[in-house]
């Protein structure tokens, strides 16, 4: 049964609702039975009080030699032996005198214990054992009859009638609640099936996407499921973008390798015909073109891995520790540079740590290469854009800077604006592509330090 609960939402809803219904109906039944029992007992007490008042009136109004006869109460149950209805009048003091109903059949009623307190009219109520040891409900009252003395007047009745009424009520209530429970269970089953219908529709839409019959999830869903459908559409779009990027990278890699391979083939054919350059020149050509191909392969592999990691879900990287580690490593390489890092401790990048290190590491390394003596790194949170949050990294150096007309060229793949600086010219291009894969961007501008400012916008974790 536990396995069913863990696998089926409908079963969870049905059985939890059925259990709640059972508990509520049980508590309601107990409460109604208690109220009905109390009502029946109050009605019995009222009937006993009527008989008690009649006996008291007869006793007070009687002459010294008068007797209170059972027939005076007008109730035949007091005439039948052990009928369950009894009265008794006892003189308190001398001479003793006890008058009883014929139904007591030579038996007597015991008085209620002194622990039972009388009400405002001097009446006591309680339970005693009857002549046949069956429980009785009794009312008694002490009466001062003047010259006749003081009397204890008692009227009792069996509680069997109350119990019989309560039993009949319980039976009727049980049948009613059973019918109600069956109707509620049926209604809950229909409700669970109807309530989960949007999930079945969502499943059908996802299956249609998987089978290629649709490119996204359509349809109007309830407010509770609409965010899930939206997230699934984003996931589908992200996967489609990853596939498209992979196809593009493969095509670009093939195109990029075509030229150096053609050069190598032409040189090899010319060498075979004896028309080529000297062997040393051929070797240099091979090395040169091989390095070009290696750089191209490395570049596109990095882009493919970055694009795949950019689609990862639920990965967050603390920015401050990662930047501190970069600053320590680059500080040893560029000991002459005053490198400062400012980043809030609670700021997190929504993505892989390796990508964060690659992007910020490339930008800080580039700044250190060109700086005269100072590089500043400042990372801050920016205002949310819709339902997404972003962080902004500012990397400033005091180097020669870059003219506005050459900044777009610097972001192009393989462009090296100064051949005296080490590198392949792929760093800024990879940072740009990776930032865009995460939904961010890279911009180059003027720095307050007089050099170049690189502004990197990336998604931040909430």
- List, for residues 34-82, the tens digit of each pLDDT value: 999 889 888 988 988 988 888 888 777 764 444 545 445 667 888 888 8
What pLDDT score was predicted for residue 305?
A: 61
Residue 81 is given by DSSP the state T
Q: Which residue has the higher pLDDT, 243 or 117?
A: 117
pLDDT category at 233 given cuts 50, 70, 90 is confident
Q: By mean pLDDT, which of 168-177, 214-223, 296-305, 332-341 is the weakest?
A: 296-305
C-alpha pair distances (Å), 85 with each of 57, 78, 104, 112: 19, 6, 8, 17
The full DSSP string for 320-344 is: HHHHHHHHHHHHHHTTTSEEEEE--
> pLDDT value at position 418?
44
**Which pLDDT tens digit goes with each residue over 368-427?**
999 999 999 999 999 876 667 899 999 999 999 888 888 888 887 544 444 444 444 456
Dihedral sign for Cα atoms in the order 291, 297, 303, 305: negative
pLDDT tens readout for residues 138-152: 999 988 877 777 888
Percent of the chain with pLDDT over 90: 24
**For residue 288, is pLDDT > 60?**
yes
Distance CA 155, CA 153 (A): 7
- Structure pTM? 0.48
Averaged confidence pLDDT in the chain: 81
d(CA 219, CA 207): 14
Task: Confirm if 368 and 339 have CB atoms less than 8 A apart.
Answer: yes
88: which strand partners? 100, 154
Q: Is pLDDT of 363 > 70?
A: yes
Angle between helices 353-370 and 427-437 (to 10 degrees): 140
Question: So what's the pLDDT on residue 99?
Answer: 85
pLDDT at 342: 95
State residue 101's pLDDT score.
86
pLDDT of residue 454: 94
């Amino acid at each position: 049964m536990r396995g069913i609960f863990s696998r089926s939402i409908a079963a969870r809803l049905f059985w939890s609702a059925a259990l709640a219904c059972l508990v509520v109906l049980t508590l309601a039944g107990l409460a109604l039975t208690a109220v009905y029992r109390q009502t029946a007992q109050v009605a019995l007490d009222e009937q006993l009080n009527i008989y008690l008042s009649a006996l008291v009136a007869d006793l007070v109004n009687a002459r010294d030699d008068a007797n209170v006869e059972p027939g005076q109460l007008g109730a035949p149950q007091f005439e039948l032996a052990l009928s369950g209805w009894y009265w008794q009048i006892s003189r308190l003091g001398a001479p003793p005198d006890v008058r009883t109903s014929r139904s007591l059949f030579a038996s007597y009623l015991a008085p209620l214990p002194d622990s039972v307190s009388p009400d405002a009219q001097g009446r006591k109520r309680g339970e005693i054992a009857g002549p046949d040891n069956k429980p009785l409900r009794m009312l008694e009252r002490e009466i001062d009859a003047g010259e006749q003395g003081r009397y204890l007047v008692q009227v009792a009745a069996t509680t069997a009638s109350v119990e019989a009424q309560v039993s009949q009520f319980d039976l009727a209530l049980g049948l009613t609640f059973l019918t109600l429970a069956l109707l509620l269970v049926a209604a809950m089953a229909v409700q669970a099936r109807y309530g989960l219908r949007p999930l079945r529709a969502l499943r059908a839409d996802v299956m249609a996407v998987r089978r290629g019959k649709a490119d996204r999830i359509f349809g109007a869903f309830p407010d509770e499921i609409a965010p899930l459908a939206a997230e699934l559409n984003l996931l589908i779009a992200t996967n489609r973008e990853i596939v498209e990027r992979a196809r593009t990278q493969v095509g670009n890699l093939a195109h990029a390798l075509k030229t150096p391979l053609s050069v190598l083939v032409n040189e090899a054919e010319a060498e075979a015909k004896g028309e080529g350059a000297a062997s040393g020149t051929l070797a240099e050509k091979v090395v040169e073109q091989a390095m070009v191909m290696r750089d191209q392969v490395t570049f596109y592999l990095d882009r493919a891995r970055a694009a795949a990691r950019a689609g990862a879900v639920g990965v967050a990287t603390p920015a401050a520790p990662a930047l501190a580690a970069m600053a320590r490593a680059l500080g040893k390489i560029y000991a002459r540079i005053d490198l400062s890092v400012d980043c809030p401790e609670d700021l997190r990048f929504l993505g892989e740590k390796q990508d964060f290190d690659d992007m910020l590491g490339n930008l800080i390394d580039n700044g250190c290469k060109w700086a005269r003596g100072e590089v500043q790194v400042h990372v801050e949170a920016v205002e949310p854009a819709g339902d997404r949050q972003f962080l902004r990294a500012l990397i400033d150096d005091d180097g020669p800077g870059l003219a506005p007309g050459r900044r777009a060229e610097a972001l192009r793949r393989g462009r090296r604006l100064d051949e005296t600086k080490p590198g392949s010219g792929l760093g800024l291009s990879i940072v740009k592509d990776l930032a865009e894969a995460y939904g961010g961007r890279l911009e180059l501008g003027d720095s307050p330090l007089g050099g170049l400012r690189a502004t990197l916008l990336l998604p931040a974790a909430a």
